[in-house]
Amino acid sequence: MIIKLAVCSRSINVDLGGNCTMPNIVFTKPDGSEHNVNVETGVTVMEAGRDAGLGVEGTCGGCLSCATCHVIVDTEWFSKTGAPGEDELDMLDLAFGLTQTSRLGCQIEISEKLDGLRVTIPEDI
Ligand code: FES
């Protein structure tokens, strides 16, 4: 049995053994190295990559005005994250290395359904 604890807009799952069951994101850096990051629900991919020191800048803090949080979502996960909206597409046009599954990390909020999400950090974001 899992109990959900909510703090502000974020929450973590704790099983009856007291173990956290936070969603996991797998980041692939430009050098090909993979990094597993566990995050609370409600955290964005940008915040997770930035706070883990993986080179995701997120200069504007998630205000859709910089594109320094550009990530490439694995094709098998793209349908779960959803396609970018119009404002996001406009900002993505400024990103380097754009692909069909590019997203701005600040616009992907982690939920339980995204546990295991795989994203690649492009070079020179
Ligand atoms: S952090 Fe600036 S657009 Fe995402």
d(CA 57, CA 51): 9
Query: What's the pLDDT at 7?
Result: 45
d(CA 80, CA 120): 16
Atom of ligand 1 at shortest range from CA of 106? 4
Length of the chain: 125
Query: What's the pLDDT at 73?
Result: 98
Contacts of 123 (CB under 8 A, 6+ apart): 30, 96, 97
Residues contacting ligand 1 via CB (< 6 Å)? 46, 58-60, 62, 64-69, 91, 104, 106
Atom of ligand 1 at shortest range from CA of 58? 1
pTM here is: 0.85
Query: What's the pLDDT at 8?
Result: 43
Token representation of residue 45: 């991919």
pLDDT in tens, the chain (125 residues): 655 554 444 555 555 666 667 999 999 999 999 999 999 999 999 999 999 999 999 999 999 999 999 999 999 999 999 999 999 999 999 999 999 999 999 999 999 999 999 999 999 75
Which residue out of 44, 47, 64, 102 has the highest number of ligand 1 atoms within 8 Å of its CB and is therefore the one to mutate?
64
Distance (angstroms) between ligand 1 centre and the Cα of 70 equals 8
Query: What's the pLDDT at 21?
Result: 75
SS (H, E, C) 70-82: EEEECHHHHHHHC
Query: What's the pLDDT at 20?
Result: 62
Query: What's the pLDDT at 12?
Result: 53
Residue-wise DSSP of 11-33 = EEEEETTS-B---EEEEE-TTS-
What domains can you pick out in the chain, each with its CATH number? 22-120 (3.10.20.30)
